A and B are shown apart, each in its own frame.
Chain A
């Protein structure tokens, strides 16, 4: 924002203040900044809508996502089947809702566990330094030398396909980024004066690390969690689309899209893949909007 625009903004605020229309600001500055970010709010609305629709799937549809009905195969969307039915007569709308549960669980769950592991290691080793830091750094470098998808597929081929395996594999491929981030924050924060004060009081290392320093590094970590969630949801979709992710009998967004590998389905049965593809895109977009909003609100140098 140029200076004149900023001046005009402040003038407007002052005018409002003098007219007595402005209440004193309340609540956290970061939250207020987030609330005023229009894209982030759009993101929150889309995110919550899709999340709640998945959680309360039984209230929104009476169809069973797994029930095969050979009398109603490949029906076009109607009031009975909002997104139509697939080749075995299963209701696609119900599959998208119930599939969302698994896809969001895999994406968000893996990102949170990866954050827990990465931040847990990064905070401690970054604070302690020395040989333990060196080892953790080298191990993370090994993991990060693989292109993400190659490492995921490599581990899938060794471990086999299952929901739990997929989450473990995502955590293994995702902790490195979180570790790097929290370690870097730690290296600068540990030099702060309040840390020296805590040390001189004889506060235990673990307490200094996780209770006193970690909260100051949470902003960038939260941003990273959202971006990682987006990445894992895309990865799950891609893997399941290839038939190498979550086992095919469990409905997930990627597994629903799996049928679109067939060019005939692609051309003639758009309802089997277009709605679910759009839902994935919207959901990931909303997560990215939220992540961007968080980034701005966590950064004090950006005016909000």
Chain B
């Protein structure tokens, strides 16, 4: 990590930060376009008739709502930068509290799915590449295609029906019951949503791992290894796989945003109390500040992930130009 890397990171930040500012502006604009403002949401509709327009105006002025649009945007942005994300419309809970409350569940599910899909995807992709053109290879290709074609929630429903309702092996939903939070209490809850989410993502990893492995196996150093008389398994697994793994590692970084989005519906199907189901609840309840803030945070996560991936790629692969 030299000076080049540092300038590279700074250069990337120069692109990323203005982008975040523009997106935050658009999100705030969207928030302004939605019906009602903070005051109309604060006041109970039944009481609203008894409040005079002058009183409403006074409240608006005390909150700074009479100021210009740009002024309000800057106040809003400053608050966010200080960690104050505003308040949810339902119950007036601080959004920061909600996010911190829900984030662990989403992270738990995502990391589970990330690890599993990577392991299974790499394994199947490598098998597919080593037996290129065989029945195993074409079967795996078709199965992978099936994996990206079945709606994830439908797959989830079938899994619930079989393993939770009919066989009764695993709970149909939820994360943990109050008072039961040991690992053994948690594990059964995460297996179904975690596996469904991983299997949906495995297809992509598999495809990528297969082509990376094929690419790696066609290189010169594989011929060198073979000419040295090394056993075939050693050539494939030690020499071939080690080079193929690099692009796959990068792929994992790219999957982070997909994961954030992908877990939204799965969380809802399995009643998983994460950010995703909170987001859907907010969209249904027209809780605009919460909707906007979760969207903004997801963009932040995506941009951060892509920045990290770029830096990692540059670190791993010396051929990447830092210009």
A145 CB–B CB distance under 8 Å: yes
Contacts of B286 in A (CB 8 A): 157
* Contact flag A146-B295 (CB < 8 Å), given A238-B152, A241-B153: yes
Of the 9-residue stretches A105-113, A186-194, A284-292, which lies at the interface with chain B?
A284-292
Q: C-beta contact mask, B97-138 vs A, less than 8 Å → 1, else 0? A: 000000000000000000000000000000000000100000
Check: A260 CB closer than 8 A to any chain B CB.
Answer: yes
Given contacts A157-B286, A238-B265, A266-B160, contact A145 B303 (CB under 8 A): yes
A154 lies within 8 A of B30 (CB): yes
Is A237 in contact with B157, judged by CB distance below 8 angstroms?
no
Q: Which of chain A's residues have a CB closer than 8 A to the CB of B30?
A: 154, 158
CA A238 to CA B200, docked complex, whole Å: 14
Q: Is A93 an interface position by the 8 A CB rule?
A: no
Interface of B is mostly: helix
Residue of B nearest to A151 (CB): B295
Chain B residues lying within 8 Å of A261, measured Cβ to Cβ, are 269
Query: Would you give the shortest CB distance from B28 to chain A, in whole angstroms?
Result: 12
* Chain B contacts with A in 252-269, Cβ cutoff 8 A: 257-258, 260-262, 264-265, 268-269
Q: How far apart sit A201 and B302, CA to CA, in the bound complex (Å)? A: 46
Q: A150-B279, A158-B30 are in contact. Are A142 and B149 (CB under 8 A)?
A: no
Check B148 for interface membership: any CB of A closer than 8 A. yes
B315 within 8 A of A: no
Within 8 A of A (CB), among B57-107: none
A244 located at the interface, meaning its Cβ lies under 8 Å from any Cβ of chain B in the complex: yes
Query: For this complex, into which size category does the number of interface residues on chain A fall?
Result: 35 or more
**Chain A facing B: main interface SS:** helix
Whether B150 is near chain A, meaning CB under 8 Å from some CB there, is yes
Query: Interface digits, B186-217 against A, CB 8 Å rule (1 contact, 0 not)?
Result: 00000000000000000000000000000000
B-contacting 9-mer, from A56-64, A116-124, A273-281: A273-281
The answer to whether A145 and B280 have CB atoms under 8 Å apart is no
By the criterion CB–CB under 8 Å, are B284 and A146 in contact? no
Q: Choose among A142, A149, A158 the residue that contacts B265 (Cβ–Cβ < 8 A).
A: A149
Q: Nearest Cβ in chain A — how far from B228, in angstroms?
A: 22
- A48 vs chain B, min Cβ distance (A): 17
Contact B299 A145 (CB under 8 A): yes
Asked if A39 is at the interface (CB within 8 A of a chain B CB), the reply is: yes
Asked if A153 and B291 sit within 8 Å, CB to CB, the answer is: yes
CA distance A102 to B286 in the complex (A): 26
3 closest cross-chain pairs (CB), A and B: A147-B261, A285-B149, A277-B154
Interface residues of A (CB under 8 A from B): 1-2, 5, 39, 138, 141-142, 145-151, 153-154, 156-158, 230, 234, 237-238, 241-244, 257, 260-261, 263, 266-267, 270, 273, 277, 280-282, 284-285, 287-289, 292
